[in-house]
Every structure is written in C-alpha cells, then in structure tokens.
Amino acid sequence: MRMSAAVPATRPRSAATRPARRRAAPALPVYSGPFGEAQAERLLWRAGFGPRPGEASALADKGLRGAVLSLTHPPRARLEGPGPTDSKGRPIAPGDAWGHDHLWWLDRMVRTNQPLVERMALNWHDWFATGDVGATRLNLAQNSLMRRRALGSFSALLTDITRDPAMLLWLSGTENSRDAPNENYARELMELFTLGAARGYTENDVRQMARALTGFTNDWSRGVGPHRFRFEAKRHDGGVKRVFGRRGKFDWRDACRLCLENRAHPSYLVTKLWSYFVPTPPAPRTVSSLSALYVHGRYEVRPVVEAILMHPDLHEGPRLVKPAIVYVAGLLRTRGRPLTTESWTWLSHLSGQMLFQPPNVAGWDEDRWLDTATICGRWKAANTSLQDQEIDTGDQTYDVAETPEAAVSSAIAFWGGPGITPETRGRLLAFSQRCADGIEHRWQQRSYRVLRQNALRMLVATSPDFQTC
C-alpha cells in the first residue's frame, strides 16, 4: 500500500477511545472540468485495468457522475472473450498447478465487465495481504470474499476476514489459544488493518487484544490439509481484558468492533483507501469529510470510493504510476487479448507483483513500483504481450512507403490511442526517422519498416506515458 504521509497523528490514548464526535464536515468537492476520452481513460486505469477497445469513449459519453456510478454499480458479472490457457492451449488449473492461481485472477482483471469490483478486490488483497498458506483453495476462497465485499461494509469485511481460514493460518489465528497466546493477528489488526502503527494503541493493547482473539482452531488431515475451521469456547480466554482503556470479557467480535470504534480508525481507512486511487495525499479537510461520510454511512465503502473517484484531485492532479499487475493486465485488456501462456506468472513477478504472494503482510509498496529491475520486468511483459501479434518481415502487404509520422501514429493506435505526451511523441518520431535513415538497400525498404513498427509498439507500451495514468 501507499505510505501515509498524511495519516494524522494520533491523540493520546484516553482521547483515542472516545466515540467520534458527529459534526458537520466540509462538503466534498466534485471535479467539474471537461470529461472526455482522456478523463475516461484515466478513470478506467485508476478504477480498473485500463480501457478495452472502445471503452473510454463509451464511458466519456456518460459524463463524470454517470461514469463513476456505472463503475460502482456494475452490471451482473461477466467475463468476456476466450478464457485463459497455458502455452499448450490447455485450460488452467488454479487450485492445483503452480502459479495458476495468479493466472486465474489476472484473467479476471483482463476480461471482467466489473473493473472496479476487481480493482477493489486487489486493493483488499493488498490491505489484508495474505500470502500462500499452503492450501490454494483457502487463498481462493479469501479472494472470493474480497470480491463479494469489494464495495460493501468494511465492518462486515473485517469480521469475515478475522475468521477467514486463509487469514487464520497466515497470521497464526488458529495458533492463538488461552494457554498459548500468539500476538500475530492482534498486532497487525491494529497496525495494518484498522488504526496504523502507533496510532491509538499500545504494546499492552497488542497483548490484551491477542487474548480477546483466542479460540479459533482447525483440523489438519493428510490429503485434505487444513480444514474444519471453528471457534471453540474452551480455547478462548474468557477473562477480563483491558483494551484501549476499556475493560470487558472481550472476544474476537469485540476486537473488531473496538478497532472500528477507535477514533484513529476512520482517518486511517479513508487515507489508505484514497492512496489507491490518488497519488497525492488528501488534504486534512478531505480526510475529515471522507471520514464523516464513512462513519455516517455505517462503515460502507462504496460512498467513500465514489467521492474519491469524483474528486478534483484525481482528475486534475498528477499522474499515478500503474501498479505492476494493473500495467500487466492492461497490456492484454487494451488489446482485448486472452492469456495464452503461464509465463504471465513470472512476468508479473519480475514486474514487481505476483498475486497471492505479497512481499509481506503490509502488502505491496505502492510508492515504489518502478526501478531498474521492475522496469526490465515490465519490458519483458510488454514483449510477451506482443507475441503472435508481431508483423513478420515476410508480410508483403506492409506499406513500403510508410512515413515516420505514419509509423508512430499507427503504433499508438495499436494500443487503443492512449494519451501520449509531445515529449514521447517527439522521441518516437526521431527513432522512426533514424530507422528510415538506416535503410541502405532496396530489400530493406519493407523489412525495416516492419521491424520499425514492431519496435515502436514496444516503445509506446514501455514509455513513461504508458507506465503511468
């Protein structure tokens, strides 16, 4: 997730536990500038995985409000186009074959008609970052939970995640019993999931919260693996705990509730949620307005997301570096291409993001996607996305008189005509011209133009313009 330069400092502990005061929050501004194809393109990248062919212009026709509401209230889920296969044309096996869980989800990102739902599932995967628990079906079940609760109540999501089998395994929830407390989930519940590090809780709260969370257990059998996840009263520490200055015989549901009611929670949630869509931190008044929206809406996420997607900061502010998997999915989605090789797993990994394998429980670092290693991975992904679409030098129909300008325009159009800055266009044109200058023999007239077009498509897909949105 993105760093929260702007998560407000917490109050002293006594204040942190007072219920949030209800007061009129400043109204949230709505972007009022033009909403054309360029704005729709940005929205589709921020709230999804980029436009499919024709999608940006269709979205632009709805206007900003209509566009945002169409994303937050999508039609019935449908995956469009041919399904994913391995490189031998066989269907994938997400529950069984290595890396196919990644392919399965990546394919949904490429083919979904509910891009924001899929994007929110990705955001929750980053938020409650759970790695491979050794039982893929449990990771996939958690994924389905995040999709089901994508735009719903955070309270319901937190409750479900706390008892989710993959999470219970990942953060030692079923290892946490009255006789052998384990602080793993308690700490991250507060530090990462609801409050933020050192905001509104103490080390003692971690230990007390761990006691409240005791009681989950599961069985394990050969061949089946972990199963029969349940809460057992006899494993639960039923004693009095003192959390956030409050005393009670708290259990796991109380643990979730106490976190949601902690004063440090709403600002943490809205700031973190904002960071998935907008690269600049929200102004303090924006945080308080969004927090009020969230609390008055009884922890519903959809209205908060709608307010963020309509906010002027998203539409008028600087560009956002596309998360690695968004870039990768976008390469295929923009071209309407299906997944036809399992290489997408390691290509995504090299680009910096393998689904179901977050680097740690804090998720991916949204602020540092690009470096000299991941940019090489993105290049390789673009290269693979172009396999089977390249023009062959044996193609005798290729325009032997194509001008450098026409070649550049054609390569940009190949990617659905994304907005390309004059800076990039200038360099593409220079490259195009240099290639033409290199033609020395008659036989090179066509073949160099073919090679040039293949190369230009790579340069567009890997340009700073296409890495960002």
Residue 445 within binding range of other proteins, rule CB under 8 A: no
Which of 98, 95, 94, 96 is closest to 108 using CA atoms?
94
User: In the bound complex, what is the minimum distance in angstroms from residue 78's beta carbon to other proteins?
Assistant: 31
Q: Which is nearer to other proteins, 117 or 428 (CB)?
A: 428
Rule CB under 8 A: say whether 182 interacts with other proteins. Answer: yes
The answer to whether 464 contacts other proteins (rule: CB under 8 A) is: yes
* Of positions 48, 50, 74, 99, contacts other proteins by CB under 8 A: 99
Which range binds other proteins by CB under 8 A, 62-70, 153-161, 300-308, 383-391? 383-391
Among 147, 263, 272, 335, binds other proteins (CB under 8 A): 272
Restricting to residues 14-73, name those near other proteins by CB under 8 A: none
Q: State the Cα angle at 400 between 429 and 396, rounded to 5°.
A: 130
Distance CA 192, CA 358 (A): 14
> Near other proteins by CB under 8 A, which window of 20-28, 57-65, 273-281, 294-302?
273-281
Structure tokens at 358: 């977050």
Answer for which of 147, 187, 315, 333 binds other proteins (CB under 8 A) is: 187
Rounded Cα distance between 235 and 174, Å, is: 10
Please pick, from the candidates 376, 400, 403, 405, the single residue that binds other proteins as defined by CB under 8 A: 376
Count residues near other proteins (CB under 8 A). 108
| Of 61 and 405, CB closest to other proteins | 405
Footprint on residues 115-174 left by other proteins (CB under 8 A):
129, 131-134, 168-172, 174
User: How many residues does this entry show for the chain?
Assistant: 469
Looking at beta carbons only, is 156 or 362 nearer to other proteins?
362
Phi, psi dihedrals of residue 257, rounded to the nearest 5°: -65, -45
- Residue 94 within binding range of other proteins, rule CB under 8 A: no
Instruction: Find the binding residues for other proteins in span 298-357 (CB under 8 A).
Output: 318-321, 345-346, 349-350, 352, 354, 357
Q: Which is nearer to other proteins, 7 or 16 (CB)?
A: 7
How many distinct helices (H) and strands (E) make up the chain?
Answer: 23, 4
Q: Which long-range contacts (CB under 8 A, 24 or more apart) does 134-140 make?
A: 134/169, 134/225, 134/226, 135/166, 135/169, 135/225, 135/226, 136/94, 136/95, 136/96, 136/101, 136/356, 137/95, 138/165, 138/166, 138/169, 138/226, 139/101, 139/166, 139/356, 140/94, 140/95, 140/101, 140/104
- Please give the helix or strand (H or E) that residue 217 lies within, else none: strand 216-221
When the beta carbons of 117 and 201 are compared against other proteins, the nearer one is 201
